Chain A
């Protein structure tokens, strides 16, 4: 079980890369805990989480090859 993680905007300054594979996470909460352990600055950042291009507001189960994206506040236009 491995998911694809996409990191955008200012969050990619923290993670130092914009795409990575993450193994052994069953849901978005586990993923965030794992990421925050690895990149403590994430805990201080505001962002939403999208699973397969849909923003989720609650802990969401993940399955193999899901794409999870960390989205800081949008600033287009």
Chain B
């Protein structure tokens, strides 16, 4: 897998632990890497007005989102000393407890990995045209609102 090729960030459904494990395994041949940092976003069973969130259905303005993800990626490579990075974001239904965002940053040393992973994650939240519809157990829903740190 060529690391700098433009891939599709948006993937249908949850991101599985097996996929994440496989992504890590693929980096064993890149022996110039000394640090990986990973951020995983997981769907939380928030209680909203007495009703429990059982899933989030993600929708995106796909063409614009992929452009934003690409710009975030280019800016990260320009700012940090990265060996490679990968972003995957779910679309469609992701149940509570499942993974909806996978940010994977690989560098020579840990500081760049920590700093880049945090910044990339924050930028995804702020800039990517993606929306989460929080589905309750009775199949009603509300549109997710982002707060700092959420």
Question: Footprint of B on A, CB under 8 Å?
Answer: 6, 8-10, 13, 50, 53, 69, 71-77
Distance in angstroms from A55 CB to nearest chain B CB is 9
Select B129's contact among A10, A71, A77, beta carbons within 8 Å.
A71
- Residue B24 lies at the interface, judged by CB distance under 8 Å to chain A: no
A-B contact pairs, 14 of them (CB 8 A): A8-B59, A8-B61, A8-B129, A9-B143, A10-B131, A10-B143, A53-B63, A69-B129, A73-B146, A74-B131, A74-B146, A75-B144, A76-B125, A76-B128
- B143 close to A53 (CB less than 8 A): no
Number of interface residues, chain B, beta carbon within 8 A: 27
- Residue B60 lies at the interface, judged by CB distance under 8 Å to chain A: yes
Distance in angstroms from A72 CB to nearest chain B CB is 7
- A9 close to B125 (CB less than 8 A): no
- B89 close to A8 (CB less than 8 A): no
Question: Footprint of A on B, CB under 8 Å?
Answer: 41, 58-61, 63-65, 67, 89, 100-101, 121, 124-133, 143-146
Instruction: Give Cα distance in the complex from A8 to B130, angstroms.
Output: 9
- A75 close to B146 (CB less than 8 A): yes
Distance in angstroms from B30 CB to nearest chain A CB is 26
Distance in angstroms from A75 CB to nearest chain B CB is 4
Chain B positions within 8 Å of A77 at CB level: 41, 89, 100-101, 121, 124-125, 128, 130, 146
